[in-house]
Structure 1
Amino acid sequence: MAVFVLVPGAWLGSWAWEDTARALREHGHTALPLTLTGLGERTEQGGPGTDLDTHIADITRFVEQHDLREVTLVAHSYAAAPVSGAAGRLGERLARVVYVDSAPFTEGMCLLDLLPPQEVDELRRQVASSGDGWGLPMPSFDALGAGGSLDGLGEQQRKLMRENATPQPFGTYEQRLSGPVEPGPEVDRVMVACKDFTALLDSGVPMLAFLNEAPWRRFDLPTGHWPMLSAPTKLAAVLDTAVR
């Protein structure tokens, strides 16, 4: 059975993984969701100095303090950035890395590189006006839907997100990833693509072509961008299949 460390995306905490973690445990696995600094129940620990290095350290410290071995490290969305950093630092503790509706970051990248300049400018305005200069509040669902499919997020799931989401420390978007970022060649590499990302991968975008090739193994999940909320048991089944 596998040991899963589940890392949530922007604005989310360990709470977002609760149903998926329960389903993984029913499959016989160890499932350990974590909350990154400045988010969820750790909101008060965040501040202007919370950046990508902070979140990389959160992940590596979590694994080391729990003395975890043969870890399957799972990244959702934004978490691809700190998980990429942690994957290059965990050495023999890491057995597998799984990117859920996201892709690994390379050295020198930051999340803002993925957005058009006008959108970056708008985010900076929001941080300055509503986030005390360092926190990015979760956008409206209309805005979220423009960047990722909301399929499967009914009234209950949206209420859960709205009530529990916390501002994302903006330094985690701004700081560029520094090495090491590449896990060893023996580490299993898995991609779980949801609805929009599946279409993107199938369209043959050159910069994503490597995700359709060995050593990557790809699993498609026909739901929206937040599968741990929209299809938690199906996501757990895909993760269970990926580690067997």
Structure 2
Amino acid sequence: MSTFVLVPGLWLGAWAWEAVAEPLRAAGHTVHAVSLTGLAERSGEAGPEVGVETHITDLTDLLVRADLRDVVLVAHSGGAVAVTGAADRVPERIRRVVYLDSGPIADGLALRDLWEPGFRAPLEASVVDGYRLPLPSFEEFLAAGTSLDGLDGAALARFRERATDQPFRTVTDPLRLTGGGAGTAKALVSCSFPLEQVRAMIASGHPYFAALGGPEWELRELTTGHWPMFSRPADTAAVLAKLAELPGR
């Protein structure tokens, strides 16, 4: 059996993984679903000082404090920043990093550097008190090409009701890497764009996808929208369990 640490994307907390964690635990796996500083039940810890390093420390502290080893560390969407940083800091504790409709962030880049200007500008303008980034409208997500496939009105309403403001520095701080996690086994689970398209971008040397062509990578597809933990939770659990069966590096 495997140990999973599940890290949600922006505006989400551990609650987002409930329907994925349940079948994994039922199968005998150990699951730690994470709420990062300033989010969900930890929203009271939000402040202008909360940034990328705060969230990396959240993860490394969990791994060390609980003495977790041979971990399958899963990042959804914007959770990739903290996960990539944690894998860099304590690679000896991690069997595999899984990017769920996400991908690794390069050294020196901030998450907002990856956003199209038409999406980034209104988000930056919406920041409250200089450090709280509210959840955009779903229309803004759609306009930016973010897929809501598989989410009905009830799911979207629950998402908005439970979402919390994202600490703004977690999207503006550049990620700093040492190269410590370079050889760690990694996987991409592509949900909202075809794996054929990903492979084509790897082959073309696309600056974001080219790194996914290395020998440490496994590529999988789970066709749905950008939030598979809501739209296909049982299938998300199944693909994570399959990836956990693969040997690490």
Task: Tell me the equivalent position of 1:23.
Answer: 23
Distance in 2 of aligned mates of 1:156 and 1:34: 24
Task: Tell me the equivalent position of 1:191.
Answer: 188
1:139 alignment partner AA:
P
**Identity between Structure 1 and Structure 2 (%):** 43
Task: Tell me the equivalent position of 1:75.
Answer: 75
Give, in angstroms, the shift of residue 67 of structure 1: 1.1
Task: Tell me the equivalent position of 2:130.
Answer: 133
2:239 alignment partner AA:
V
Asked if residue 41 in structure 1 is aligned to residue 5 in structure 2, the reply is no
1:152 alignment partner AA:
G
2:129 alignment partner AA:
D
**CA shift in 2, pair 1:136/1:64, >3 Å:** same
Distance in 1 of aligned mates of 2:153 and 2:20: 19
Give, in angstroms, the shift of residue 112 of structure 1: 1.3
Task: Tell me the equivalent position of 1:230.
Answer: 231
Q: Is the 8 A contact 2:123 2:136 kept in 1?
A: no
Give, in angstroms, the shift of residue 65 of structure 1: 1.2
**CA shift in 2, pair 1:197/1:38, >3 Å:** farther
Asked if residue 241 in structure 1 is aligned to residue 245 in structure 2, the reply is no
Q: Secondary structure at the match of 1:96?
A: strand
Give, in angstroms, the shift of residue 9 of structure 1: 0.2
1:153 alignment partner AA:
L
TM-score by length of 1: 0.93
Task: Tell me the equivalent position of 2:141.
Answer: 144
Distance in 1 of aligned mates of 2:62 and 2:157: 29
TM-score by length of 2: 0.91
1:98 alignment partner AA:
V
**1:9-20 alignment to 2 at 5 Å?**
9-20=9-20
Pairs aligned (count): 240
Bigger drift between 232-241 and 90-99 goes to: 90-99
Distance in 2 of aligned mates of 1:224 and 1:118: 21
Q: Secondary structure at the match of 2:215?
A: coil
Distance in 1 of aligned mates of 2:152 and 2:9: 19
Asked if residue 158 in structure 1 is aligned to residue 156 in structure 2, the reply is yes
Distance in 2 of aligned mates of 1:184 and 1:237: 26
